[in-house]
Amino acid sequence: MKLNLRIWRQSNPDSLGKLEEYSISNAHPSMSFIELLDVLNEQLIKNDQEPVAFDVDCGEGICGSCGMMVNGIAHGEPKQTAVCQLYLRSFQDGDTITVEPWRAKAFPLVKDLVVDRSAFDRIIAAGGYISVNTGAAPDANSLPVAKENSDRAFDYAACIGCGACVAACPNASASLFTAAKVSHLALLPQGHPERKQRVLNMTAQMATEGFGDCSNHGECTAVCPKGIPLEAISSMRREYIKAMFG
């Protein structure tokens, strides 16, 4: 199949960027979109042209590094998939596909489709962990956790930190990401000793990084490759109010 690509090219953060057009005639429906970019880069290198810079690691929708806008949608049209899980069978022969990086103040562009998402790391470093001594690993089932809580904690913990929620949000809010990290620890007994300071520190760091606030558009959960529900943000807000006034 033949596909036409309009890809954002920008050599560095200070240069002007633009969409450049490319054509690939040997694409196959079973290819992932990342593999298509690899084919394009091989084509560019053979022609002594600069390859397109993009992030990728696991190729299995786990690491979250492959985030980009595909036809104006974070990760592309199919729901609950990362770009590495976006296959060319989702497109028609002859389609033109526009590819751009995440657009957010807190995600400064590095080059082409690569953005700096270290703001997420700093939010985690502010409290997205358990530092208290909770003892050795207990035997299975020795620490009772209600099934509803364990299921919700598992759902929230599935967040891969890709940044699609930020890219899709009109406010460039990181609320869904931060809420997933805050809420899954708040639901487990091991996370209780630090739960108040955790939510205060992480939300403060989120604001410091320049992310916007949530105004309940719901675009974040619509593009999340792991389907993190909007209820995570409600849970984080409850945790915040309890920490401030409880």
pLDDT averages per 10-residue partition of the chain, 246 residues? 98 96 96 97 97 95 95 95 96 97 97 98 96 73 85 96 97 98 94 95 98 95 96 96 91
In angstroms, the CA 114 to CA 37 distance is 13
As annotated, the residues of the chain forming the CATH 3.10.20.30 domain(s) are 3-100
Of 13, 15, 5, 16, nearest in space to 39 by CA: 5
Q: For residue 154, what are the contacts with CB-CB under 8 A and spacing of at least 6?
A: 184
Is residue 80 helix, strand or coil? coil
Do the strands 3-9 and 96-100 form a parallel or antiparallel pair, or are they unpaired? Answer: parallel
Q: Where are the alpha helices (DSSP H) in the chain?
A: 33-46, 118-125, 147-157, 164-168, 175-186, 195-208, 219-223, 231-245
Quick one: pLDDT at residue 44? 98
As annotated, the residues of the chain forming the CATH 1.10.1060.10 domain(s) are 117-132+140-245
C-alpha 106: how far from chain center: 13
> Around Cβ 154, how many Cβ atoms within 10 Å?
11
Quick one: pLDDT at residue 117? 97
* CATH for the stretch 3-100: 3.10.20.30
Q: Which two tokens stand for residue 148?
A: 């509803």
* Topology (CATH level 3) of domain 117-132+140-245: Fumarate Reductase Iron-sulfur Protein; Chain B, domain 2 (1.10.1060)
